[in-house]
Structure 1
Amino acid sequence: MWLDAFDPADVGPLLELYYAEPAPDEKMRRPVRRPWNLAALDEQESTAQARLSHAFAASWNRTCAVRVSELIPPCWPQHEQLAQELAVMVWSWYYAHLDERAAPFTAVEFRTRYVVAFRTRLPKTLGDNGLLCQENQHDQRWREAVDKQLEDFEQRMRDDQADQDATWRVSSLDFGFAVERA
């Protein structure tokens, strides 16, 4: 994957975020926005990052995927966890290869640590029927069971006083540190 394969109009603003330093008075108040944190990006930055992630996915599929189960499917934006992972992988690759601190050991670490770990996590980010996505047959209901269970959990959390009482009991444990409460 080469940085010049990306549109310079995309890379420039994201590199500004990558190298941004917080103002001295802002260090404690507001963290610096980074391009791998999708929730921190504005619409233009988010679109640019999506294009970078797309280019990374295409490069990954050509050079790193050796099994169908290792392919990043074209429906990756519909899998929020995978979209987050791709943004992190883009900037991990950048750090390992192009950042001013890049060195041979950062490239080796990227290959032996981050690529291997991403390969392991990739199928899990696609859900139970992820192989369908990797065969270009995305199931629109891929997260239906999880969303239903999550809805049930959230309703119970809103309704269940016993859970609130249990939370208070757990928060009162100080394991001998004699934590003072306000």
Structure 2
Amino acid sequence: MARKPSRFRLRFETVGSITAIVVGVAALYVSWDQARVMRAQQHASVLPAIQIDGFQTRDGEMASIGLRIRNAGVGPAIVSSVALTRLDQPSEDIAPITALLPDGSNLSWSTMIGRVIAAGETVEAISFYWPADALSAEQSAELATEWTSWDVSVCYCSVFERCWIAETRGVGAGARNVPACPAPDYDLFERIGAQGL
């Protein structure tokens, strides 16, 4: 006649099985949490941060106004689109600025769409320059006022395809997350450059 297992043994096996299940679930959670933390660290290690700065300078015999785009982040920024607004209205025609520039002014621009801006790199997207004595103080002030009525937004993504729009307009201008960047048919600064002065 076979002996029945003792109640103590049944309880021990049951407790052992439950303990193994609990340990397995805990190990699974720890693995998931570590993977989540590692993904967050990877994204943070290549986080771009675009800053848009307009400038007005007078350097010796030359004066200029323009726009610089800088990546102040720790990873590359892939520029997808650029948009201009004047007095809160979308615009691609910079005639209000060029009309105030003196004869003999020059235009310099850089292609931005598809450009990869490395961490710490600055790109001078567009600049106008002219002989410093070609404008009176009143004309220079009028040009400066017109220049500040323009705003720029740049949509860019990280290498992990997380995207942001950096803006110069509004209170607290900066960058905000977006699901994706629009894909334009043309490069805005290239189009402005083609128009010339």
Q: Which has the higher helix share?
A: 1
TM-score by length of 1: 0.22
Normalised by the length of structure 2, the TM-score is 0.21
Q: Which structure has more RCO (C-alpha within 8 Å, separation ≥ 6)?
A: 2
